[in-house]
Amino acid sequence: MAVTTTLEKKRTNLFLVLSGIFISNALLAELIGVKIFSGEALFGLPGAQLAILGSNLDFNLTAGVIIWPIVFVTTDIINEYFGKQGVKKVSILTVILILYAFLVIAIVTSLPPAQFWLEINKTDTQGNPFNIDYAFNAVYRQGLGIIIGSVIAFLVSQFLDATVFHWLRKYTGSKKIWLRATGSTVVSQLVDSLVVLFIAFFVFGNWTMEQVLSVAAINYIYKFAVAILLTPVLYLAHYLIDGYLGKHNSEVLAEKAAIESEQES
């Protein structure tokens, strides 16, 4: 009984840690995603100017992609040990928290600024006129279309990731972790890249479909490359979990998750 209790505690602790990593990085990625950076400039290179669907595009990406790969890896680990239900639970909770965060931001950015706060921050470090309230609101506020698009894309891609992951696991068994992890990410992020841009900038914005597809292609190229590069990190995570739970216990947990996920299908 004591052994079972200890194992259950470890299992619960593992889910809490993975969920914490997942939620904090997904929420943070949403908040910092308003900044667009140049991937080429990061390495001192000129713009790539890739010709895609009639547009010449550089690798301009949202700052959120810097930490989004952590969400990829965590999703696959939760998938492996807690199945579809584990992914769905943490994904739905994440969406609720993201919406809550944006609600709080909407309230906070609508508050009237204190006059002394504006006065002491009325110039930047070079002495140029500066409106800190405008800057604060500009950084934190996001358009309704972007919020709706990102939330819908997030849920759809997460549920799809869980489904493809366990479909592949049915054929690979406990082997070929890289195949089901990379395969599920590649499929789900294709949908994610298209859905978020389509809703945010085609439905709610004024982009053409060609622009949506072109920018989605750039985002997907990045996500595809990262999914492959993160494979060693995924194996390291499995190694650490095997050490924490015990090799046999981790295998039993993964097998149980696979059976429950298959029954759910």
pLDDT higher for 264 or 214? Answer: 214
At residue 127, φ and ψ (nearest 5 deg) are 85, 10
Q: Report whether 192 contacts 153 (CB < 8 A).
A: yes
pLDDT number for residue 108: 94
Distance in angstroms (rounded) separating the CA atoms of residues 87 and 80: 10
Asked if pLDDT for residue 52 goes beyond 80, the answer is no
- Give the pLDDT mean for 169-178: 79
What is the distance between the alpha carbons of residues 177 and 171, in angstroms, rounded to a whole number?
A: 12
Mean pLDDT of 160-169: 87
With a pLDDT cut of 70, the percent of the chain lying above it is 98
Mean pLDDT over all residues of the chain? Answer: 87
- SS3 state of residue 56: strand
| Secondary structure (3-state) at 128 | coil
Give residue 36's pLDDT: 83
Query: Which string of b and e fits 150-186 if b means at least 16 CB within 10 Å?
Result: bbbbbbbbbbbbbbbbbbbbeeeeeeebbebbbbbbb
Mean pLDDT of 42-56: 79
Work out the pLDDT band at 138, boundaries 50, 70, 90: confident
Residue with more model confidence, 123 or 21? 21
Q: What is the pTM of this model?
A: 0.88
